[in-house]
């Protein structure tokens, strides 16, 4: 498939296959599987005053994913990219939402490849607008150094979750918002006040340590117990700069991958995850590809452990 190239250990032994050997274009009526869909936009980052380049993220993520070993059950699809043209972010978000809705209603698990974190509002609209998720209680879990609850005159990469909360209130949708990895040095008092006002649950980055990860996961799961469906989104700037340098706004501290990964896997195993996306990969700031490889590993984990799948490689 175009854009997917990698190592081939065998062309007939499925136990050796890598993602580039099994990925296929998504077609109507295709059996439910994991469906990758790109959001090639950094317009929200530009509007937010950040370093641009995340529009190149989907292509870099596919390159990083191509050589990963197949460890999941079921088909793997590529549903193409939604491109933000001429700065028309709002149109791109609604078009992306339509793609997400169609994939969810076809039984797929969409995995969004960002793109700036403005992907999140399009993702939310797609989930909320899908026929199979209407009238269900939605939980958004955001792994992020930033609360992204800004109130601005136009949408940007810092507004998506306040937009989602307001959309839910207007449309009678029950919505919970959880944010893990919040940096006290990267969010204003106004943002923390907004989080408290909307009833968000958040954990600061210093609370997410390896000795505390099981406690955090238990508290998160308790909060998620009332949710019918979960949307997991990750801004790569939640990770330390040494782990994820290729982002618009690198973290001064961040949350270690050893903490982030079990949180992601725990959510994937709930059987209620309907949508996952990764945001803010900026390839031009990631010359060695380290950030893309970390993102690919996390996507690989979600694909492997989704719907309660407990299988994992054996020693």
DSSP state of 18: B
Q: Does residue 276 lie in a domain region?
A: yes
pLDDT average per 10 residues of sequence, the chain (315 residues): 89 96 96 98 96 96 97 96 96 98 98 97 98 94 98 95 98 97 97 98 98 98 98 98 95 96 97 97 96 98 80 45
pLDDT of residue 313: 46
- Residue 201 to residue 290: CA distance in whole angstroms: 30
Nearest to 177 by CA among 223, 131, 113: 223
Q: Does residue 42 lie in a domain region?
A: yes
Per the structure, the complete domain to which residue 139 belongs is given by 14-308
Q: Does residue 234 lie in a domain region?
A: yes
Q: Does residue 1 lie in a domain region?
A: no
Q: Does residue 313 lie in a domain region?
A: no
* Length reported for the chain: 315
Torsion from C-alpha of 284, 285, 287, 291, nearest 10 degrees: -110
pLDDT of residue 307: 64
Cα–Cα–Cα angle for 5, 285, 238, rounded to 5 degrees: 95
Which residues lie closer than 8 Å to 311 by C-beta, 6 or more apart? 71, 73, 304
Q: What long-range pairs does 169-176 form, CB within 8 A, spacing at least 24? A: 171/128, 173/128, 173/138, 174/136, 174/137, 174/138, 175/137, 175/138, 175/139, 175/140, 176/137, 176/138, 176/139, 176/140, 176/201, 176/223, 176/224, 176/226, 176/227
What b/e sequence results for 224-243 when a residue is b if at least 16 CB atoms lie within 10 Å of its CB, and e otherwise? beebebbbbbbbbbbbbbeb
We report the CATH number of the domain holding residue 137 as: 3.40.800.10
Q: State how many domains the chain has.
A: 1
CB 212 within 8 Å of CB 219:
no
pLDDT of residue 309: 56
CB 295 within 8 Å of CB 249:
no
Q: How far is CA 218 from CA 224, 266, 273, 288, in A?
A: 10, 10, 17, 36
Q: Which 3 state secondary structure label does DSSP give 262?
A: helix
Q: Does residue 167 lie in a domain region?
A: yes
Q: Does residue 95 lie in a domain region?
A: yes
DSSP state of 37: E
pLDDT of residue 82: 97
Q: Does residue 315 lie in a domain region?
A: no
């Amino acid at each position: 498939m175009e854009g997917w190239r990698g190592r081939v250990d065998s062309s007939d032994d499925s136990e050796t296959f890598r993602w580039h050997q099994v990925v296929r274009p998504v077609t109507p009526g295709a059996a439910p599987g994991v469906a990758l869909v790109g959001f090639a936009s950094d317009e929200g980052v530009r509007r937010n005053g950040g370093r641009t380049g995340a529009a190149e993220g989907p292509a870099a993520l596919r390159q990083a994913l191509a050589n990963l070993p197949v460890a999941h059950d079921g088909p793997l699809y590529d549903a193409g990219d939604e491109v933000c043209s001429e700065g028309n972010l709002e149109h791109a978000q609604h078009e992306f939402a339509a793609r997400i809705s169609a994939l969810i209603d076809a039984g797929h698990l969409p995995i969004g490849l960002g793109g700036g974190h403005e992907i999140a509002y399009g993702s939310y609209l797609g989930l909320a607008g899908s026929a199979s998720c209407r009238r269900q209680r939605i939980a958004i879990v955001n792994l992020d150094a930033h609360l992204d609850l800004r109130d601005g005159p136009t949408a940007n990469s810092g507004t998506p979750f306040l937009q989602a909360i307001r959309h839910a209130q207007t449309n009678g949708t029950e919505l919970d918002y959880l944010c893990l990895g919040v940096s006290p040095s990267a969010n204003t008092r106004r943002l923390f006040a907004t989080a408290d006002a909307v009833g968000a649950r958040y954990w600061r980055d210093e609370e997410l340590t390896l000795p505390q990860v099981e406690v955090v996961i238990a508290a998160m799961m308790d909060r998620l117990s009332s949710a019918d469906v979960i949307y997991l989104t990750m801004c790569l700037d939640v990770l330390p700069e040494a782990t994820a340098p290729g982002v618009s706004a690198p973290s001064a501290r961040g949350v270690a991958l050893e903490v982030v990964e079990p949180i992601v896997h725990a959510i994937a195993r709930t059987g209620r995850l309907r949508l996952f996306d990764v945001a803010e990969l900026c390839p031009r700031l990631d010359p060695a590809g380290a950030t893309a490889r970390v993102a690919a590993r996390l996507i690989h984990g979600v694909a492997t452990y989704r719907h309660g799948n407990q299988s994992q490689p054996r020693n």
